[in-house]
Chain A
Amino acid sequence: MAAPEITAPLTEKVAAVQHGLQAHSDGGSAFVPVQTRSERFTSTSPDDFAEVTGLEFEWKFAPLAKLKHLTAESVDGSPVAFSYTESGGATVDWIDRTNALVGSAGAPEERASANAWASVEKALHIKVTGEDGAETVVRRDRFDGSPRGAHIVIEAVPNSKGTVILEQSGDANLTENVEIVVGANAQLTVVTVQEWNDSAIHLSSHFARVGRDASLKHVIVSLGGSVVRINPSIHLVEQGASIDSFGLYFADAGQYFEQRPYIDHVAANTRSRVNYKGALQGEGAHTVWVGDVLIGPHADGTDSYEQNRNLVLSEGTRADSIPNLEIETGNIMGAGHASSTGRFDDEQLFYLQSRGISEEEARRLVVRGFLAEIIQQIGSESLEARLSEAIEAELVASQAV
């Protein structure tokens, strides 16, 4: 069976009266939705998906030539060594693909994801059991550039509280699936940091299932790599589930960073906040953000807001930003979205310069400030400090332009 082909953006489908009377600027108003997001085809077998042509909405922005092999050819799914810091609050182990946890948070919606799924024999299982918020850092820096598939399951047992940080650097030619299972009343933070080498290709589908009264904070930080695409599908399946979905990306010349957060409000009284911020600098820097929020027919009392803001620092960049909101119940607390892509605010620069601060430093201050909003949300002091420095380095490196 072939996946339904989606050639137009999923447009906002408003069944209820709460949201937007005016047409939206993303041009979607001319289209009729092909399907609701929850009806999208899923399969763990790559052959169930048609060959990727680049016309699919799922792939239309991506530089296909650089990544098509990860959708079309078999990849090596054997375990690759990693290192991690023990926190006492979590265990890290390989589990068999037949383990019931594998597949418990979602299933592939596109071919690269299915290709990874089919390739692996084992999944890396990070199990958070502590209740004191301990931080576990898993370092993945030993991929060698050959085509790889991988699978990670991050599990927070009921009532646990902890932070899992995936720090990724070095070479990568990787397609993978990351499942996140948040048990009842648990509080989990997952941060994935991409500081890959310039040639790295990284396609990652995240699937999260957030349980009753549980909360997940999911943070994507993409700073390095040739193609980095991280698509989190977050399912709020039980009452009181909550997601804070944050993203921060800084694309330099030639870099392609994509993220498509999908928030699926299934149960009543669920809450979501989506906030992604990006900076683009240099010829060919390209970022894509597609934010889907689906408020299902039983998700009464949903409280939801999504936004994406991009700061364009030079000519020759491209930022695609598409928010989609589907509401299938009339009884919600709130649902909103915002998207903006802009250059420097000249008035901000003037204000800073009029206090003696050089233009160069004023620009740095403004960008730092713009991205700080996300960094401050991470909640790990050491990582916040390190990321601030990494962004500083990006700014200094790009200042030459």
Chain B
Amino acid sequence: MSVLKIEDLRVSVETEQGTKQILRGVDLTIGEGETHAIMGPNGSGKSTLAYAIAGHPKYHVEGGSVTLDGVEMLDKTVDERARAGLFLAMQYPVEIPGVSVSNFLRTAKTAIDGEAPAIRGWIKDLDASMQALRMDKSFRERNVNEGFSGGEKKRNEILQLELLKPKFAVLDETDSGLDVDALKIVSEGVNRAKQNTGLGVLLITHYNRILRYVKPDFVHVFVAGKVAEQGGPELAVRLENEGYDRFLETANVE
């Protein structure tokens, strides 16, 4: 059983006003096949958590640890973490001019597996995943994310999730900006990955909506850089109805 364990994670960023503490001691344990939703108001540090786990250089780890099956991730490079089995589906995927989707995916798959995939099986997997995500074959020859619509970019992220088969994925507001049809398609992709590979998911979202399609086992409320409350799926419903006001008041008192 794989486990992703985040302990007392403290992270800062440099801003024009100086160093700013964002994460103030995050504790989370995600088991294989589990789905944890992280909800919280703007600026609570949800995306910082996602990027800090992935190793973005902009975020400075001040303390704590992130271990995957007991192995510390925080002292590894971004690509080493990915090869260890971590994946980040980004809120704003970057355009890579001149690099085709097909070349990018094959290069990534080769890097993750340590060897080039056998051509025939690879093309078959790629076609099947693209079809399931309702992506036209012509996407293979387009440059990564260049000229993609918001929904196409998100589907491209989930395509990578399905093909690269990580142990744990952080989905950073993958549902933002999607209409309900695209949301269903993307959610199905996440569910397929869970079913096929026992993927553990850390699902960061603003909205309850995606949780209708990707069922969380746990819901964590994120406020002012730490987990303020946790519960089951019913907590998400309560948040949707009540908002975050009661947490914010508490945070302000602190």
Contact = CB atoms under 8 A, between A and B. Distances in A.
Interface of A: 345-348, 350-359, 361-362, 365-366, 368-373
Given A357-B107, A361-B111, A352 B96 contact: yes
B98 A353 contact: no
Given A351-B90, A369-B143, A356 B112 contact: yes
Contacts of A369: 96-99, 143
A361 B104 CA distance: 11
A371 B98 contact: yes
Given A354-B54, A357-B108, A366-B96, 11 more contacts: A350-B57, A351-B90, A353-B82, A354-B78, A354-B79, A354-B88, A356-B112, A357-B111, A358-B111, A369-B97, A373-B98
B25 interface: no
Contacts of B143: 369
Contacts of B78: 350, 353-354
Contact of B98 (A356, A359, A370): A370
B77 interface: yes
26 contacts: A348-B95, A350-B56, A351-B90, A351-B93, A353-B78, A353-B82, A354-B54, A354-B55, A354-B87, A354-B88, A355-B160, A356-B83, A356-B111, A356-B164, A357-B79, A357-B107, A361-B107, A361-B111, A365-B96, A365-B104, A365-B107, A368-B98, A368-B99, A369-B96, A369-B99, A370-B97
B253 interface: no
B119 interface: no
A30 B97 CA distance: 36
A372 B98 contact: yes
B211 to A, nearest CB: 25
Contacts of B96: 348, 351-352, 365-366, 369
**Most chain B CB atoms below 10 A, which of A347, A348, A354:** A354
B1 interface: no
Nearest to A345: B94
A372 B88 CA distance: 28
B82 A356 contact: yes
Contacts, number: 78
A70 B242 CA distance: 81
Contact of B57 (A346, A355, A368): A346
The 7 closest A-B pairs by CB, nearest first: A369-B98, A372-B98, A355-B108, A356-B82, A353-B78, A356-B111, A369-B99
Contacts of B79: 353-359, 362
A345 B77 CA distance: 17
A354 B78 CA distance: 6
**Most chain A CB atoms below 10 A, which of B88, B95, B96, B143:** B96
Interface string B133-165: 000000000010000000000000000100010
B144 to A, nearest CB: 8
A355 B111 contact: yes
A148 to B, nearest CB: 37
A359 B83 CA distance: 13
Nearest to B93: A351
Contacts of A351: 90, 93-94, 96
A352 B104 CA distance: 8
Contacts of B111: 355-358, 361
Interface in B14-30: none
A362 B87 CA distance: 17
B77 A359 contact: yes
A126 to B, nearest CB: 31
Contacts of B94: 345, 347-348, 350-351
Contacts of A347: 94
Contacts of B97: 369-370, 373
Nearest to B84: A356
Nearest to A366: B96
Contacts of A361: 107, 111
A371 B88 CA distance: 28
Contact of B77 (A353, A355, A366, A368): A353
Interface string B82-126: 110001101001111111000110011001100000000000000
A359 to B, nearest CB: 7
A354 B79 CA distance: 5
B93 A356 contact: no
Contact of B82 (A348, A355, A373): A355
B68 to A, nearest CB: 14
Contacts of B98: 368-373
B231 to A, nearest CB: 30
Interface in B57-85: 57, 77-79, 81-83
A369 B164 CA distance: 22
A350 B94 CA distance: 9
Contacts of A353: 77-79, 82
Contacts of B57: 346, 350
Contacts of B108: 352, 355-357
Nearest to A368: B98
A344 to B, nearest CB: 12
Contacts of B112: 355-356
Contacts of B99: 365-366, 368-369, 372
Contacts of A373: 97-98
A28 to B, nearest CB: 29
Nearest to B56: A350
A348 to B, nearest CB: 5
A373 to B, nearest CB: 6
B83 to A, nearest CB: 5
A358 B112 CA distance: 10
A357 B96 CA distance: 14
A117 B23 CA distance: 70
Nearest to B163: A355
A359 B57 CA distance: 13
A76 B116 CA distance: 54
A49 B204 CA distance: 70
Contacts of B93: 351
